[in-house]
Structure 1
Amino acid sequence: MALDALNATYDIAKAQLDAAKKPSLIAGYISNYMGKNNTDTKTVVRPSEMSSAHSQYPPNGVMRAHVLKAECCLQIAIIQLLQESVMSYVKCGLNLRRAYSSYTIVWQEFKKMGSDHTKYMDSDTVSGVQFGIGAVHLVLSALPAKILKAVSVLGWRPDKKLGFELLNECAKSKRVRSSMATMMLLAYYSAATSFVPQLLSDQYTKAAMETLLEAQRYYPNSAFYLFFAGRISRLASDLPLSTQSYLYAAEISKNEWAEVAVSNSCRFEIAINHMITGNWEPAAEAFGFLCEQNYWSAAFCKYAQGACLEMMGLRTEAILAFAEVSNLVVKKLGGRMTDIDAYVLRKVMAFQASGYQDLDFYIPALEFMCIWNQLSFINPILLQQHMTKVENTLAALQAREDEEYSIRMREVAPDTPLPDHFDHRAVLLLIRASLHNVLGDHNSTTLHLNWIIDHQQNISQDSWAVPFALWEAGISCWFLERRERSRHLWEKALGHSKFDFEHRLAVRLNLALGRCDDLGILKPEPIPSQSKKRFSLSIPSLS
């Protein structure tokens, strides 16, 4: 629906621009008719020529049409960016190109006008240009490195500083796009920080709070700003205030046009807060409701419900929830599944392959929270409880492996295949390493992460664990003051492809590398070939 509305608006704006370039058909007919009878009749003047006769600049209506056309492309690009697929990212880049081209036309005229711009361009058109160019630069700076490289070939270079300046200026002007500029800033601050809380919390959380407080002075009961208050409170580790903000936003939105969308979004975020605080029962109830509402991904919501039930020890109820997931997967995006649907379907198929007998070797809730980088918001006491659960699960996995080896010691040519628990162990060790990083025990991650990297050839179903392990290794090095090494590991992670949540990790890596650029952290010098060493240590199998 959003894309249909934006495309229709784009067509209207384009029609306005075409009309400004071409002479009216009626005027043309009259001109031709009169020309046959009167040789002194003057040639019909195009609207654009009429305006240029009185001014050296295009009419304000033409410039505003360019801005409207550009903003349609920008909003379409943002929608495509959120779909997290290769084709969507390519389309996003193309629409950003179209948006920037139209914005540039108006921006160049604006700069030519200088201090006289108020005579030729109204304040709302200026507001639209400031919002648009600022937003394009911020969105470009968040694109994955591979897509950004392709866009850079066209001569683009995202200027994040300029983006912030223009959006802040637009927000202060209190014109037609001021609220949109504020929400774009809040969206960027909250999204970037939630992707990379370890590196960006100190940089963006304070700025996000200041922007939000300024916005709420003028719109204290805005459901949108209350929603962002929930996101930013979570980033500040104030989970009670976060949940309260979401509840208030849902209440405020009642009987409004966006009631269902806002209430479901708030319910989803509250469910995430329940997971972060270990309140699994209300989280399971919320995800079950969202599945019935078909919110975002019904398959994921049902899977998350099962994961929460599993954390509560309700194995039978969890299995029943998992069993429903495959029927809820919907193919979108030109017949392909979204990343999240493909992930939960593959996990459920793995559960079913063993008749759910291997569920003891999975912790689905913690696995999802590790992928979404949400472990950083959990309090230390609960983190220790999660660590104990991971260690117990690893012990159960070790016991199963020992049992399978003991069968081969007692029987000749047994029917039981060789133990193959590389995927199980890789994910569990990744969660364990992530927990160590959050707890500040960065030296303890080396053993676990090197095991994953050393055995990456044996990890097939959960191949995403390898690039995510490189990410966690970079985090460990970052806090051990080996930041050049961090950059090297993150760039190495970008070399992996075709794994679950590749695009989500790519955005995270891009933001982290951007932080390295801000701090002037360069890649380390390559090691001479005769003394080159592998990153991973020679560590035997943990079995």
Structure 2
Amino acid sequence: YRNHSPLMSFGASFVSFLNAMMTFEEEKMQLACDDLKATEKLCESEEAGVIETIKNKIKKNVDGRKSTLSMIDRLQRQIIVADCQVYLAVLSFVKQELSAYIKGGWILRKAWKIYNKCYTDINTLQEIYQKKTTQESLTSDAANDNHIAAEGVTEDSLNRLKGAVSFGYGLFHLCISMVPPNLLKIINLLGFPGDRLQGLSSLMYASESKDMKAPLATLALLWYHTVVRPFFALDGSDNKAGLKEAKEILAKKESAYPNSSLFMFFKGRIQRLECQINSALTSFHTALELATDQREIQHVCLYEIGWCSMIEMNFKDAFESFERLKNESRWSQCYYAYLTAVCQGATGDVSGAQNVFKEVQKLFKRKNNQIEQFSVKKADRFRKQMPTKELCVLASIEVLYLWKALPNCSLSNLQHMSQACHDVDDSSAAGLRNLLLGAIHKCLGNSEDAIQYFQRAAKDELCRQSNLYVQPYACYELGCILLDNPETVPRGKTLLLQAKEEFSGYDFENRLHVRIHAALASLREVVPQ
């Protein structure tokens, strides 16, 4: 039916899109593009708005049943077209080329206009129904109501359509709300707004609706609360923000999906954020077993198992997980090779680690990918000289820091990490060591010690040669600590602006800019937009 039914066609295209995004295989990405374009072509509808169409139908006194189908069908098709355009834009962005970004931006602009129009139209129709039920409508409105009622448009059908449009509408708002100011100007030119609360409420509506994308909206909310919020520090130093919402969603939906590997995965994410690492590992292993026929979900679980093992400083298990990902995953073998080598070296097998470090350069495929650039840069040193166990442990703590995983570590493991940093006697790593010690002491609640280490890291000029990101990150961390004290807020703000404006060209620059944007937004006591 995919060649005749818009919904069936969209369902098939969406599966193609998911396969492409999980594997990043070129042929699957091309197939997804072709499928989405075919669905879009099938759904192309007239440009007239729904409300205008209703008015025209009333004026012309056209047969009710016929116009009902066209009205509901028109809305459904427009939403599907917008969804297809969003997914096509995502497939463009994955290429990480300037032309692809420009193309993707314009596709998104078109999608946003459709979402916004449909959302407004559906809300207007719902208001008409509300007036009808409360019998407060005027005579002219009543005529409209009677006509719509005669057409057989039900409130349920409108609610379902609102659920359908709320998914894309909410995702738009949520994503744009996190964009840092330097990109926001470009996005504003394209006409996108960004309201985090609107995005969350729309996704919540979609997740509670009867639309086919309701489970996706639920997963999107869980992803936002358990992955995005802590990773981008959208709530400042509150590392557990979003847990309450995530738990509520999981409790509400878990019974509906008792054997879902994805829901078990998110349960593990919540446990990890609560520093219950052993429980998280159990959940991730369970999710891994549930996903026996889903290779991509298995890889996501393996990734988390690797990270949880690193958090526990169990480098042997971490090595096994990352090595399997290096051999099986097609996403970023370069990155997985680096993590494999780091963990292998941290176990003491420095010779084996060096062999894997040498593989990193060979597996470097995506030249514009920040993670792969970082991996190659870091591996290059150990490719040329034998790594030490101490430096590999330091490298593991470094990735835990950069991926915002240190707050998930237990106090005892943080103390072990602190000692491991002190064990490193390498002048070229002094700035990095101070940055990591500052972050560890911050997690331990030792603000004064943290400030001292961050100050040392911020002043370390030697790190400009090997770890360019250390100084801006140290300024950011120092600024965040100072923001917690009303007396030092001005100094903290100055440091955040310094981190944002005085440094460029370092690893994970955009990542830090998002965090700085969130910190400055919280300072203004507004929701990040």
Does TM-score exceed 0.5, indicating one fold?
A: yes
When normalised by structure 1's length, the TM-score is 0.77
Counterpart contact for 1:141–1:158, Cα < 8 Å:
yes
Provide the rounded CA distance (Å) in 1 between the counterparts of 2:494 and 2:95.
28
Counterpart contact for 1:276–1:374, Cα < 8 Å:
yes
Unaligned runs of 5+ in 2: 1-19, 22-28, 130-151
Provide the rounded CA distance (Å) in 2 between the counterparts of 1:449 and 1:69.
50
Summarize the Cα distance change of 1:94–1:6 in structure 2 as closer, same or farther, 3 Å threshold. Answer: farther
Deviation at 1:321, TM superposition (A): 2.0
CA displacement, residues 308-334 of structure 1 (integer Å, 9 cap, x when unaligned): 122222222222221222122113xxx
1:364-375 to 2 correspondence within 5 Å? Answer: 364-375=395-406
Please name the residue that 1:410 is paired with: none
Please name the residue that 2:41 is paired with: 15
Instruction: State yes or no: 1:103 paired with 2:129.
Output: no
Summarize the Cα distance change of 1:20–1:88 in structure 2 as closer, same or farther, 3 Å threshold. Answer: closer
CA displacement, residues 253-308 of structure 1 (integer Å, 9 cap, x when unaligned): 223xxx10011110111010000011111111111111110343112212112211
Q: Which moved more, 1:242-251 or 1:199-208?
A: 199-208
Deviation at 1:97, TM superposition (A): 2.4
Please name the residue that 2:13 is paired with: none
Unaligned runs of 5+ in 1: 23-45, 399-420, 522-543
Summarize the Cα distance change of 1:88–1:15 in structure 2 as closer, same or farther, 3 Å threshold. Answer: closer
Please name the residue that 1:310 is paired with: 345
Q: Which moved more, 1:366-375 or 1:115-124?
A: 115-124
Provide the rounded CA distance (Å) in 2 between the counterparts of 1:230 and 1:92.
33
Summarize the Cα distance change of 1:200–1:86 in structure 2 as closer, same or farther, 3 Å threshold. Answer: farther
1:8-157 to 2 correspondence within 5 Å? Answer: 8-16=34-42, 18=44, 20=46, 53=60, 54=62, 59-77=71-89, 93-116=105-128, 119=153, 122-157=158-193
Instruction: State yes or no: 1:503 paired with 2:515.
Output: no
Instruction: State yes or no: 1:439 paired with 2:455.
Output: no
1:186-225 to 2 correspondence within 5 Å? Answer: 186-190=222-226, 191-196=228-233, 199-225=237-263
Please name the residue that 2:299 is paired with: 264
Instruction: State yes or no: 1:241 paired with 2:282.
Output: no
Please name the residue that 1:341 is paired with: 372
Summarize the Cα distance change of 1:505–1:447 in structure 2 as closer, same or farther, 3 Å threshold. Answer: same
Deviation at 1:162, TM superposition (A): 1.2
When normalised by structure 2's length, the TM-score is 0.79
CA displacement, residues 361-389 of structure 1 (integer Å, 9 cap, x when unaligned): 56211111111121111111111111111
Task: Report the AA paired with residue 114 of structure 2.
Answer: S
Counterpart contact for 1:192–1:511, Cα < 8 Å:
no
Deviation at 1:517, TM superposition (A): 3.9
CA displacement, residues 401-449 of structure 1 (integer Å, 9 cap, x when unaligned): xxxxxxxxxxxxxxxxxxxx3xx22111111111111111111233333
Summarize the Cα distance change of 1:377–1:325 in structure 2 as closer, same or farther, 3 Å threshold. Answer: same
Provide the rounded CA distance (Å) in 2 between the counterparts of 1:89 and 1:445.
39
Deviation at 1:243, TM superposition (A): 1.4
Summarize the Cα distance change of 1:434–1:147 in structure 2 as closer, same or farther, 3 Å threshold. Answer: same
Counterpart contact for 1:473–1:489, Cα < 8 Å:
yes
CA displacement, residues 453-479 of structure 1 (integer Å, 9 cap, x when unaligned): 334486133211122112211232134
Provide the rounded CA distance (Å) in 1 between the counterparts of 2:433 and 2:365.
29
Summarize the Cα distance change of 1:358–1:318 in structure 2 as closer, same or farther, 3 Å threshold. Answer: closer
Counterpart contact for 1:224–1:249, Cα < 8 Å:
yes
Please name the residue that 2:523 is paired with: 516
Deviation at 1:202, TM superposition (A): 4.2
Deviation at 1:99, TM superposition (A): 2.2
Provide the rounded CA distance (Å) in 2 between the counterparts of 1:161 and 1:504.
22
Task: Report the AA paired with residue 464 of structure 1.
Answer: Y
Task: Report the AA paired with residue 380 of structure 1.
Answer: L
**Alignment equivalent of 2:417, drawn from 383, 386, 390:** 386
Provide the rounded CA distance (Å) in 2 between the counterparts of 1:240 and 1:83.
37
Summarize the Cα distance change of 1:12–1:323 in structure 2 as closer, same or farther, 3 Å threshold. Answer: closer
Task: Report the AA paired with residue 63 of structure 1.
Answer: L
Q: Which moved more, 1:291-300 or 1:126-135?
A: 291-300
Counterpart contact for 1:222–1:252, Cα < 8 Å:
yes
Counterpart contact for 1:442–1:479, Cα < 8 Å:
no
What RMSD over aligned residues (CA atoms) do the two structures have, in Å? 3.2
Counterpart contact for 1:452–1:465, Cα < 8 Å:
yes
Deviation at 1:337, TM superposition (A): 3.9
Summarize the Cα distance change of 1:89–1:272 in structure 2 as closer, same or farther, 3 Å threshold. Answer: farther
**Alignment equivalent of 1:461, drawn from 452, 462, 466:** 466
Please name the residue that 1:322 is paired with: 357
Q: Which has the larger radius of gyration?
A: 1
Summarize the Cα distance change of 1:360–1:470 in structure 2 as closer, same or farther, 3 Å threshold. Answer: same
Provide the rounded CA distance (Å) in 2 between the counterparts of 1:352 and 1:328.
14
Provide the rounded CA distance (Å) in 1 between the counterparts of 2:90 and 2:240.
26
Deviation at 1:174, TM superposition (A): 3.6
Provide the rounded CA distance (Å) in 2 between the counterparts of 1:359 and 1:430.
20
CA displacement, residues 51-91 of structure 1 (integer Å, 9 cap, x when unaligned): 99437996222211211121123344556778888877666
Instruction: State yes or no: 1:492 paired with 2:529.
Output: no
Helix, strand or coil at the partner of 2:504: coil
Counterpart contact for 1:85–1:338, Cα < 8 Å:
no
Provide the rounded CA distance (Å) in 2 between the counterparts of 1:344 and 1:304.
8
Please name the residue that 1:226 is paired with: 264
Task: Report the AA paired with residue 370 of structure 1.
Answer: Y
Summarize the Cα distance change of 1:65–1:434 in structure 2 as closer, same or farther, 3 Å threshold. Answer: same
Helix, strand or coil at the partner of 2:465: coil
Q: Which moved more, 1:207-216 or 1:116-125?
A: 116-125
Provide the rounded CA distance (Å) in 2 between the counterparts of 1:86 and 1:235.
36
Instruction: State yes or no: 1:301 paired with 2:336.
Output: yes
Counterpart contact for 1:227–1:249, Cα < 8 Å:
yes
Summarize the Cα distance change of 1:77–1:489 in structure 2 as closer, same or farther, 3 Å threshold. Answer: farther
**Alignment equivalent of 2:426, drawn from 360, 375, 397:** 397
Helix, strand or coil at the partner of 2:259: coil
Equivalent pairs, count: 464
Q: Which moved more, 1:76-85 or 1:212-221?
A: 76-85
Summarize the Cα distance change of 1:446–1:147 in structure 2 as closer, same or farther, 3 Å threshold. Answer: same
Please name the residue that 1:356 is paired with: 386
Provide the rounded CA distance (Å) in 1 between the counterparts of 2:298 and 2:74.
39
**Alignment equivalent of 1:476, drawn from 448, 463, 481:** 481
Counterpart contact for 2:357–2:380, Cα < 8 Å:
no
Relative to total residues, which structure has the larger helix share, 1 or 2?
2
Summarize the Cα distance change of 1:276–1:139 in structure 2 as closer, same or farther, 3 Å threshold. Answer: same
Summarize the Cα distance change of 1:375–1:397 in structure 2 as closer, same or farther, 3 Å threshold. Answer: same
Q: Which moved more, 1:452-461 or 1:74-83?
A: 74-83
Summarize the Cα distance change of 1:4–1:510 in structure 2 as closer, same or farther, 3 Å threshold. Answer: farther
Instruction: State yes or no: 1:165 paired with 2:196.
Output: no
Please name the residue that 1:535 is paired with: none
Provide the rounded CA distance (Å) in 2 between the counterparts of 1:251 and 1:360.
34
Deviation at 1:194, TM superposition (A): 3.3
Counterpart contact for 1:172–1:178, Cα < 8 Å:
yes
Please name the residue that 1:418 is paired with: none
